[in-house]
Amino acid sequence: MRKALLMLALLTVSLVASAKIERPRLVVGLVVDQMRWDYLYYYYDQLEEGGLRRLVDEGYSCANTMINYVPTITAIGHTSVYTGSTPALHGICGNNFMENGRDRYCCTDENVRPVGSTSEAGMRSPRNMLANTIGDQLRLATEFRSRVIGVALKDRAAIFPAGHAANAAYWYDNSVGHFITSTYYMNELPQWLQQYNREHGTKPGEDQRLLPQGVAVTFDMAEAVLEHERLGMGDETDMLTISVSSTDAISHEYGTRADITQESYRVLDRKLAHFLKLLDEKFGRDGYLLFLTADHGGAHNPNYMNAHKLPAGGWASADLRKKANTALQQRFGVDKLIAANYSDFFYLNHAKIDSAGLSLQEVKDEAIRQLQTEDHLLYVVDCEHAATAPIPQLIRERIINGYNRHRTGDIYCLPRANQFSWVPASNYAGTTHGEWNPYDAHIPLVFMGWHIQHGETTKPTRIVDIAPTVCALLHIQMPSACIGDAIF
């Protein structure tokens, strides 16, 4: 009897030891900065079979994925993809925002030092992010045995996707011409990266984001991380987050239809094809899970639109702020009661209002009345009371999702469609983004690889649905402030 019980106990221990949740060896999140949803099809005939076209032909496409907050900005988009949340909860309210009356860059951290350079570009961390990410949850689920690393040219695009508990995040410092990190992650660059920087560094001062080769630089670095850090080669699932920044910077400078913009996507297509082939060779076609999406879209250039009789233009947001401040000074006797404006949000100067003994609501109401005189604005909304604003429900929800009381402006200005927040010059060829409209908010979302069958849905999905979908596939808890729903 004792022998039988002993054998049963040993068998139980053996079964427990061998039992393991089925997961892919590697998860790859790929964000293409400012990639409009329709680019998947606008460029389709120009694509190689193994790159973006392969994603369309083999992957599962969520063709009606929208960003469900404003503003549609890089730092917010990357954060929302990986947290499954919005600025109201994850706290990244723009590339720049104000907090307690101070201007703040989204990932600046004065408590860390640069590693790999001596410039301010290395004083970065994810500490301003108030929620955790897919990678953080993966690390938690595996007792931190999983490895998570982020790569991008932009600091914010490497840092926020990788999360708080990431093993590393690497971004490009133009001042030195190579990849760096900060003491948040490590005190010295790995030996392989020091060697890589010596061999692959570029001319200091040259902005790789404005060159199609910046796309290649990003993928080359991602492949180097994959190889030298041996991601996907251990006992637990690892994660690599990649963001392609050049597509955004080039489009800002030259527009959505420029030859150099199209060249950047041809480079993206070629490098993605090579990267997917590498993943196939390392892990097998069903051994990894990859998703491609964007942090936001982008508007067509207003001069280009006007040339084809399509309505577009701009409104002078900075001039409007000055005009409103003049009116507020005449009414309340205090100058510059509107402190700043970022991405259609106007920030009141609460310290001045308090010290002058003024009513915040009265100042806000007067500011709204003045701002509403701008012809290019459809609505001017008191963010604190957006839930009762007489505006379309979809836009009202996006304002609420984008409003963080401590970091977002007091007033939101809603412009007409295709209206930039400045007046473009007649020779201006570039573009921008930030609005609720489909050209900025409709993003691609394609899953491929592990347990993903080919298909497409036009059922409405949202940027915040990406994180819970990946977490559901991995059988791990969704991120801490997640408000999305798993797609599958």
Distance, in Å, from the CA atom of 386 to the CA atom of 94, rounded to the nearest integer, reads 19
Cis omega (within 30 of 0) on the bond before 71? yes
What burial letters (b/e) apply to 427-441, b meaning 16+ CB within 10 Å? ebebbbbbbbbebbb
Amino acid at 240: L
Q: Are 292 and 444 within 8 A, CB to CB? A: yes
Phi, psi of 202 (to 5 degrees): -115, 180
Q: Are 356 and 336 in contact (CB under 8 A)?
A: no
Give the closest residue to 246 by CA, choosing from 209, 291, 192, 193.
209
Give the separation between CA 90 and CA 76, rounded to whole angstroms: 9
Token pair of 281, please? 């060779």
- DSSP label of 384: G
Asked if residues 122 and 114 have their Cβ atoms less than 8 Å apart, the reply is yes
The backbone torsions φ and ψ at residue 349, rounded to the nearest 5 degrees and listed phi first, read -85, 90
Radius of gyration of the chain (CA): 24
User: Residue 128 carries which DSSP code?
Assistant: T
Q: How far is the C-alpha of 161 from the C-alpha of 154, rounded, in Å?
A: 12
Report the distance separating Cα 149 and Cα 61, nearest Å.
25
d(CA 245, CA 425): 25
Q: Catalytic residues, which ones?
A: 74
By the 8 A CB rule, do 215 and 247 touch?
Answer: yes
Helix (H) or strand (E) holding 320: helix 317-332
* Dihedral in degrees, nearest 10, Cα atoms 401, 406, 410, 413: -40
435 Cβ partners below 8 Å, 6+ apart?
70, 71, 72, 299, 344, 415, 417, 441
Element (H, E) at 441: helix 438-441
